[in-house]
A = this chain, B = another copy of it.
């Protein structure tokens, strides 16, 4: 039994939903289908989820909701008409939305969650209706009825352990389950959503619950590439990688899957496949527990820009117990998370994502570090990029750091930071953003074009 999740672009139009139906029909083992809300059909199009956010905002402001509601209903109606589903399903969806709009608004976040979640919920109803119309034995299943119980964290719900037991019963259904992604319910019946993009999480929870042989995550790319195809021309495809590799690559440029979606299948040892709805014959990228590392020590190179460095120096810092902790406390007070902390004898640097900084925050941080920690020198520098080499074989392949460092030497790109030694499967280099493209291409050549002679 396979659990197959289809993302927003895969269910954005009647044409796309027909592709989904063909994929489901092609393999009888595809017994559980998880769907997103209809996404963009073309560049510049608006996702149903965004239409729903506008709708709930208008309702919460007590403004007229006719126009924003009509925009949502129209999207579904257009799909239903093209799929020749008749009027019933359109009426079901409109009634559902009107009911949600009439619900209690005393908690605006809960009200907004319910409106947003209608996107996936009605998408599932519509797709179930279509699969039935073409002769498949499919059935919409509501997350509350199926037992997808979650805790009460707003916009960041997490499945409760008992949810897995209840959802395991989906295994016994004769019909094809069509399940909406993105939300669950508290045991009291209050709807709660996962983080945005959380349909991936629903699919992973279901796959883990029913102990699926495979969790298929259908998107609009053929596979995961070893490097960002917008930077490196025609990069090699990744056929197979481990959960750990996928996780380390998620650092930057490999955002194929929601962060939280890996854990349920990882714990249940269900393999995951990233596939393309628009090209179902492509084998996709398999994510598994273990792989043969002898073929290729490095699996992928990810890169991301937008990093800043907070540099702090103080003579005899290394003898001061609590220095690092106090510094991190100052960042925490400003709600700033960090990525790496390289350190010398009398100095340390904190590498963090620049979007977290404002001019005010920078000033407060520098002032506090100077006065409270009595630092000799404190300053912030911007425009850094991080390059991450990831591979299960890295730790056992001697000379790999030398190969990477030689690639840097060949390009003349200065290494501003190296971080290695906690993860066994990654090696992180900090560079100036302006050098990113040059070094990414050279590292790609070094590790993925072995046929070339340097």
A residues apposed to B, CB below 8 Å = 247-248, 250-251, 259-260, 263, 309, 311, 315-316, 318-322, 324-325, 328-329, 331-332, 335-349, 351, 395, 398-399, 401-402, 404-406, 408-409, 412-423, 425-428, 430
Q: Are A329's CB and B325's CB within 8 A?
A: yes
Cα distance, A164 to B271, chains bound together (Å): 70
Complexed CA–CA distance, A345 and B325 (Å):
20
* 4 smallest beta-carbon distances between A and B, as pairs: A344-B423, A417-B421, A399-B409, A342-B421
In the bound complex, how far is the Cα of B403 from the Cα of A400, in angstroms?
Answer: 13
| Copy total for this chain | 2
Tell me whether A405 and B401 are in contact in the complex, defined as CB-CB below 8 angstroms, given that A325-B325, A419-B342 are known contacts.
yes
Chain B hits for A251, CB < 8 A: 345
- Contact across chains for B347 and A335 when beta carbons are under 8 A apart: no
Partner of A259, one of B319, B406, B408: B319
**Closest CB in chain B relative to A416 CB, distance in Å:** 6
Q: Is the CB of A263 within 8 A of B332?
A: no
Kindly list chain B residues whose C-beta atoms are within 8 Å of the C-beta of A342: 340, 419-422
A324 to B422, CA, bound (A): 14
Of the candidates B398, B416, B419, the one whose C-beta lies within 8 Å of that of A419 is: B419
Report the separation of the CA atoms of residues A343 and B420 in the bound assembly, to the nearest whole angstrom.
7
Q: What are 22 A-B residue pairs whose CB atoms fall within 8 Å in the complex?
A: A250-B345, A251-B345, A259-B319, A319-B337, A324-B328, A325-B328, A328-B328, A340-B421, A342-B419, A342-B421, A343-B423, A344-B423, A344-B428, A398-B412, A398-B413, A398-B414, A399-B405, A401-B405, A402-B406, A405-B406, A415-B420, A419-B421
Chain B min CB distance to A4 (Å): 24
Does A344 lie within 8 Å of B415, measured CB to CB?
A: no
Residues of B with C-beta under 8 A to A341: 324, 341, 343
- CB pair A408–B419 under 8 Å, yes or no, is no
Q: How far is the CA of A123 from the CA of B137 in the complex (A)?
A: 100
**A426 and B325 contact, Cβ closer than 8 Å, known pairs A339-B318, A420-B415, A421-B419:** no
Q: What residues on B are CB-neighbors of A318 within 8 Å?
A: 337, 339
Q: Is the CB of A332 within 8 A of B337?
A: no
In angstroms, Cα B315 to Cα A24, docked, is 32
Question: Which residues on the B side are within 8 Å of A351 (C-beta)?
Answer: 421
CB atoms of A418 and B430 under 8 A apart:
no
Q: How far is the CB of A191 from chain B (nearest CB, A)?
A: 23
Assembly CA distance A303 to B73 (angstroms): 70
Q: A335-B321, A402-B409, A405-B401 are in contact. Are A420 and B423 (CB under 8 A)?
A: no
Complex CA distance for A398 and B405, rounded to whole angstroms: 10
Residues of B contacting A412 in the complex (Cβ-Cβ under 8 angstroms): 398
**Given the complex of chains A and B, what is the CA–CA distance between A345 and B345 in angstroms?**
25
- CB of A354, distance to nearest CB on chain B (Å): 16
Per the bound structure, the CA–CA distance linking A395 and B259 in Å amounts to: 36
Q: Chain B contacts of A343 at CB under 8 A?
A: 339-341, 419, 422-423
- With both chains docked as a complex, state the minimum distance between the C-beta of A114 and any C-beta of chain B, in angstroms: 25
In the complex, chain B residues whose CB is within 8 Å of the CB of A332: 321-322, 325
The answer to whether A421 and B422 touch across the interface, beta carbons within 8 angstroms, is: no
Q: Is the CB of A345 within 8 A of B417?
A: no
User: Given A325-B329, A325-B332, is A415 in contact with B430 using a C-beta cutoff of 8 Å?
Assistant: no
Residue in contact with A409 in the complex, picked from B316, B336, B398, CB distance below 8 Å: B398
Q: Which of B344, B348, B422 contacts A349 (CB 8 A)?
A: B422
Provide the bound-state CA to CA distance between A315 and B244, in Å: 10
Task: From known contacts A316-B260, A346-B247, infer whether A417 and B416 are also in contact, taking CB-CB under 8 Å.
Answer: no
CA distance in complex: A318, B352 (Å): 11
